[in-house]
Structure 1
Amino acid sequence: MYGWRARAGLIVPSVNSTAETELGPRMPDGVSSHVSRMYLEDGTVDHLEKMAGEAEESASLLGTADVDVIAYTCTAGSLHEGLGFDEQLESELSEAAGGVPTVATAASIKRAFDALGLERLSVTAPYIDDLNDLEVEFLEASGYDVTNMNGLGIKSGLEIGAQKQEDTYRTVREADHSGADAVFISCTNLPTLDIIEKLEADLGMPVLSSNQATLWDVMQNLPVSPEEPVGPGTLFEET
């Protein structure tokens, strides 16, 4: 039987081609992952709001698979309505799934920052300016200082998922990180897990990403203890 130790449920935007690919194979031995999708056309606030209307049904469907934890794997989609929306979303989805512990990426990144005692963030995000601005507002309202927002201006979710990790590495490495105590790479559709440790070694500071923080938060809520860290970087090494 698959999932003989535990089962993780992932709620994924329909255009996201990265989250389940990066998170699923990282699950500990005996932990299976199960995906429910929400329709999303592109990365605009209006479409994110429409997508959010499908989230409870997606959580309810995962609940029927007897999952042990659910992750809402969308950064902008869990912060676009401002401070508190991430935690409200977690509560509503947990209730829809019959009480299954639920994490949303925007809340997961905050828990990860706090676990490492981070306060000043240099952010790289693939979004258009409207979403980049909303993310800065959300992070600063949550108590973090965004020292730099390096936005890529990509509207298409498919285009975000097609970004090469080596290009993202160069983009992040060449950004302005002065005054920051960590780098954050936003968006669960942006492939990042294979470059985090390289960036940490080359930049000399912690590097976190949306998928990394979501995976870490899922592990905090699974009833298993992995034999070794399942994810990369300082976040998994030191917490």
Structure 2
Amino acid sequence: MTALGFLYPGHSGEDDYPRIEQLLGSDIRVELVHTDIGEDAHRVDALREMGSTERLAAGMEQLRLAGAETVVWACTSGSFVYGWEGAQSQVRTLARLAGMPASSTSFAFVHAARELGVRRVAVGATYPEDVAALFTDFLRAGGLEVNGVRSSGIVTAAEVGTWGEEEVLTLARTADASGVEAVLLPDTALHTAAHIGLLEKALSKPVLTANQVSVWEGLRLADRRVNAPALGKLFTREPIVQV
């Protein structure tokens, strides 16, 4: 049994995690601890506060008691708003507090793209334009080429959490661009676990979503590999061998 730990801000798209756990199989356990979101706003100052050390530290004891072996800060915007170096510092602090391997959703997107061997990507963001721009900056710092960004301008995670299949599919389709190898949908408030197969079929390319890559990152940290076709190409492809 492998227990994966996740710190999840507030309550919006957390339903994805038990769904993903079911798809992974009986020997993977997903432990989710909710952190205090503070002000629900896709605004840089609020997002920095949401990802502060104090808020993350508050959930660590519960994850340790649950037997988690890895921990992922399951929040894209609450990590990339610090920039590449700042997000690395956040993860190092989290690993120290947790006493276990740690990462965040922002790094999970970069690692997942590398796993698939894709470099040219498009982004479909729920965020306002200024916050979406910070995500593209983060991706570029990680070596990805961002060839298109679609911003939905949504201010709160609560609103994002109400989106269903139609809205998610529309976001992915409008974000897709000629020549890109994958479409990325950040925001762990967005329910996507039930739609990944449909998204990849509609776009004919890999689609990486926040909760999907967060769980994959937890597995990567635990040195586990699980075949789960319902979760998209990321969960079926053999790893890229770097030469």
Structure-2-length-normalised TM-score: 0.87
After superposition, the C-alpha distances for 1:70-94 in whole angstroms (9 at most, x for unaligned) are 1110001111011123332222111
1:8 corresponds to = 4
Given that 2:119 and 2:145 are in contact with CA atoms closer than 8 Å, whether structure 1 keeps it comes out as yes
What's the offset of the Cα at 1:48? 1.4
After superposition, the C-alpha distances for 1:58-80 in whole angstroms (9 at most, x for unaligned) are 22442233311111100011110
What's the offset of the Cα at 1:50? 1.4
CA distance in 2, matches of 1:79, 1:225: 26
1:63 corresponds to = 64
SS of corresponding position for 1:143: coil
Aligned pairs, how many? 231
1:78-93 mapped onto 2 (5 Å cutoff):
78-93=79-94
Q: Judging changes above 3 Å, is the alpha-carbon distance between structure 1 residues 83 and 29 closer, same or farther for their aligned structure 2 residues?
A: same
After superposition, the C-alpha distances for 1:15-74 in whole angstroms (9 at most, x for unaligned) are x421x3112332231433333222222221111111222112322442233311111100
Q: Do structure 1's residue 17 and structure 2's residue 12 form an aligned pair?
A: yes
Q: Judging changes above 3 Å, is the alpha-carbon distance between structure 1 residues 214 and 173 closer, same or farther for their aligned structure 2 residues?
A: same
2:241 corresponds to = none
2:142 corresponds to = 142
2:237 corresponds to = 238
CA distance in 2, matches of 1:223, 1:111: 14
1:204-223 mapped onto 2 (5 Å cutoff):
204-222=204-222
SS of corresponding position for 2:228: coil
2:159 corresponds to = 159
SS of corresponding position for 2:100: coil
Q: Do structure 1's residue 38 and structure 2's residue 32 form an aligned pair?
A: no
Percent identity reads: 28
Given that 1:63 and 1:100 are in contact with CA atoms closer than 8 Å, whether structure 2 keeps it comes out as no
Given that 2:104 and 2:214 are in contact with CA atoms closer than 8 Å, whether structure 1 keeps it comes out as yes
Structure-1-length-normalised TM-score: 0.89
CA distance in 1, matches of 2:118, 2:148: 15
| Unaligned residue ranges in structure 2 (runs of 5+) | 239-243
1:169 corresponds to = 169
| Unaligned residue ranges in structure 1 (runs of 5+) | none
